Amino acid sequence: MSYLDNDSIPWKLITSSILICKFVFDNYSEIHRYKLLNNPTPPKILKSEPIVNLYECHRLEARLDLITNFVKNLNKCILSCLSISINVLYYLWVISGFILSKFSWALPTVSTNSLVVRCLVFYCIQRLGSDLESFRLDCIYTFLSELGMNKYKWKSWLRDKILSLVISDSLSAILTLSLGVIIDYCGDNYVIYGTSFVTVYIIFIYSITPSLIDPLFFKFNHLEQGNLRNEIIKLAAKHGFSSRDIYVIDSSKKTSRQNAYITGLPWNRKIVLFDSLIKTSSNKEVLANMAQLFGHYKHGHINKLVLLAIADSVLYICLSTGFVKNKSLLKAFGFDSDAPGLVGYILFHNLFSFYRILSRHITKQLVTRFENFAKKHAEDLGYYCFFRTASIKSLGLDLYSKESDWLHATYFKNHISLMEQLVGIEILLDLLKRNELN
């Protein structure tokens, strides 16, 4: 791709324009949905339900959510464009060299002269700046836009937020710095070694999440012996799910959402239930949720999503080959042509932000398709009636289940909304009644 290494290409303008277009595209559907939420009339499906009185409160909360999210995205877009215009990355690279020189007395000679160590310092400075901004905005987002769902106390939220930043930054550093080293030392074999590393990395993340990361944020207890556990094990056996690791987490301390999920890879899979789901649902309603999860398992959706993540990362690395060592791109942002691969990879990441839009859209469409398959599977097992009662209970608690227009749902939603589920279930029940009468 030598034709891309051209000094006449306005790389800064292109990158800023892409970031602005991404912001506009991200928020157009949010604004469209905001207009929809101005309608004070609740959906017909809710008019006969007791939670209709909560509709106005939830409508206001949903609009507040959209406003805070818009401000958060606008702030991020402005800061990104500003950092591009004044070459913030270049100055951070200079600062990283200055820090190493000032602390050379405390470091081995090999460390102060090492490109890898300087890349590490550079990456840490960059992440620190973005983390501080993220911390401020997430604080506003959590305690203002999630009024109906958030059960956090300041102390526990602060602890979880800092811990999540440390973990995400550490894992991100391993991935990004390793790719930077591969770019610098593997030359033309970058794609081969890069894709191999990313494949191992993704499998590693999926493997450690259930046993090492999740327990840092929630307390995991085995589901106590009883009818519910026996019914779940029986339902699991019908689907060939052999694991008997069924856990309940203390989610009610942090959120009022109701959920259940299967996590892990074949060698460490476990079933996780929110305690809020068990507290507010009957055994049949819990089993309706489990039937949907086992529908995912039966159709291999979990493994397919892992393979999709690997394929997406491999394609991303292949696309980066024409940019990570692009001299004109590096020069446009103030760097020399021999700048480390880490810098080129970060610049490529900003330049290809539109790719993340496309990737996210494709992934969400596939996940929505999986959700529909799993829901139909549960309905085929006879759980549609219990889906209705469970959906109504969840609708009374879940801020994010409000009706949304097709554009917003297509771009932001993995699951069909609870209102759409209720409409579908009502149609199904009506057909069954007619068949019984005939």
| Digit-coded pLDDT (tens) for 181-228 | 898 888 878 889 999 999 999 989 988 888 888 888 888 888 888 888
- At 152 the pLDDT is 61
Q: DSSP letters of 1-68?
A: -GGG--TTS-HHHHHHHHHHHHHHHHHHHHHHHHHHTT--SPPGGGTTSGGGGGHHHHHHHHHHHHHH
In 213-351 the beta strands, taken as DSSP E runs, fall at: 220-222, 246-249, 260-263, 270-274
Q: How far is CA 19 from CA 73, 77, 363, in A?
A: 11, 7, 21
- At 434 the pLDDT is 55
Band of residue 401 on the pLDDT scale cut at 50, 70, 90? very low
Residue 406 has pLDDT above 90, yes or no: no
Band of residue 387 on the pLDDT scale cut at 50, 70, 90? low
What are the boundaries of each domain within the chain?
11-219+298-437
pTM score, two decimals? 0.78
Given a contact cutoff of 8 angstroms between Cβ atoms, the answer to whether 394 and 401 are in contact is yes
Encode pLDDT of 75-103 as tens digits: 888 888 898 899 888 999 989 888 888 87
Contacts of 392 (CB under 8 A, 6+ apart): 49, 51, 422
Percent share of the chain, pLDDT over 90: 5
Residue 305 CB coordination number (10 Å): 16
Chain Cα centroid distance, residue 44: 32
- At 258 the pLDDT is 76
Q: How far is CA 264 from CA 8, 245, 267, 408, in A?
A: 49, 11, 8, 30
Chain Cα centroid distance, residue 310: 16
Orientation angle between helical segments 88-102 and 341-351, nearest 10 degrees: 150
Average pLDDT, the chain: 77
Q: How far is CA 65 from CA 30, 71, 219, 269, 361, in A?
A: 10, 10, 28, 34, 21
Band of residue 8 on the pLDDT scale cut at 50, 70, 90? confident
Encode pLDDT of 315-374 as tens digits: 989 888 888 888 899 999 988 878 888 888 888 988 888 887 788 778 877 887 887 788
- At 358 the pLDDT is 80
48 or 152, greater pLDDT: 152
- At 13 the pLDDT is 92
- At 57 the pLDDT is 63
- Say which residue the tokens 């207009």 belong to: 35
Band of residue 40 on the pLDDT scale cut at 50, 70, 90? low
CB-neighbour burial class of residue 385 (10 A; exposed 0-12, middle 13-18, buried 19+): middle
**Strand 246-249, strand 220-222: pairing:** antiparallel
Report the residue count for the chain: 438
